[in-house]
Amino acid sequence: MILYEVSIKVDMDVLEPYMDWLEDHVQQILKIDGFSKAEVWCDKDKNNEIICHYHLETEKHLEDYINNHAPSLRSDGMKKFEGKFVINRRTARLISRWSR
């Protein structure tokens, strides 16, 4: 399993419309082969810092997303909110899992 994390710091003046846009954006991503789950988190101390966790089946699915889907999906948000957010992305691979 692969975790694809997108951290977004959004200007407060566009936070509400950005969150509306993000909901649709996440739904579009979940339709892409290999994505099994998504979670959107808000930093508990900073309401304008959003963390999206996308769970993918394999690294190959992530590569397909980045090469074939991400450019067009990202451009929509760039056009609507240009200069109003900063994004950092990272990926991780599952090593262990514990449950209670």
pLDDT recorded at residue 58: 96
pLDDT recorded at residue 64: 98
pLDDT band at 84 (very low <50, low <70, confident <90, very high): very high
Condensed to tens digits (0 to 9), the pLDDT of residues 10-54 reads 999 999 999 999 999 999 999 999 999 999 999 889 989 999 999
Radius of gyration from C-alpha coordinates of the chain: 14
Residue range 77-91: average pLDDT? 96
Structural domains for the chain: 2-93 (3.30.70.100)
What percent of the residues of the chain are helix, what percent strand, and what percent coil, each to the nearest 5?
40, 35, 25
pLDDT recorded at residue 20: 97
